[in-house]
C-alpha cells in the first residue's frame, strides 16, 4: 500500500479565491503549498520556514493563472518492416 499522508509543515488559513485552507507540505520534489486542489512548488529562493501566508497565496494564484500542464504528444508506434520470406524453390512438374 501507500504511506499515510504526512502532516502539513505549516497552515496559512483560507485561500482568498477558493476559500479552502492553504497548507505547506513536503513532497517528493521539494516543499509546496496547496489548497487541496492547486499545488504550487516553492521557488529555490523561498525558505519553507519563512514563507508568509501572502507569499503562499501568491504562489497558488500564479499557478492557477498558468493553467493545467499540457500532456506531451505521443509518438505513433514505429512500423516494423515486413519479415522477409525465404525464397521457395520452383516445383518440378513431370
Separation CA 85–CA 66 (nearest Å): 55
pLDDT at residue 9, rounded to an integer: 93
How do the domains of the chain map onto residue ranges? Answer: 10-66
Cut 0.95: pTM above it: no
DSSP track, 23-82: EEEEETTEEEEE-SS-EEEPPTT--GGG--HHHHHHHHHHHHHH-SPPPPPPPPPPPPPP
> In terms of DSSP bridges, do strands 21-27 and 10-14 run parallel, antiparallel, or are they unpaired?
antiparallel
Tens digits of residue pLDDT in 28-70: 999 999 999 999 999 999 999 999 999 999 999 999 999 888 8
Answer yes or no: are the C-beta atoms of 60 and 35 closer than 8 Å.
Answer: yes
Answer yes or no: are the C-beta atoms of 34 and 25 closer than 8 Å.
Answer: yes
Answer yes or no: are the C-beta atoms of 12 and 56 closer than 8 Å.
Answer: yes
Amino acid at each position: 500500500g501507500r504511506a499515510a499522508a504526512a502532516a502539513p509543515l505549516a497552515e496559512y488559513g483560507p485561500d482568498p479565491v477558493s476559500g479552502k485552507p492553504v497548507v505547506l507540505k513536503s513532497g517528493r520534489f521539494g516543499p509546496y503549498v496547496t489548497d487541496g486542489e492547486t499545488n504550487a512548488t516553492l521557488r529555490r529562493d523561498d525558505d519553507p520556514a519563512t514563507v508568509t501566508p501572502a507569499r503562499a497565496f501568491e504562489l497558488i494564484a500564479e499557478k492557477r493563472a498558468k493553467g493545467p500542464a499540457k500532456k506531451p504528444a505521443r509518438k505513433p508506434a514505429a512500423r516494423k518492416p515486413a519479415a522477409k520470406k525465404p525464397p521457395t524453390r520452383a516445383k518440378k512438374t513431370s
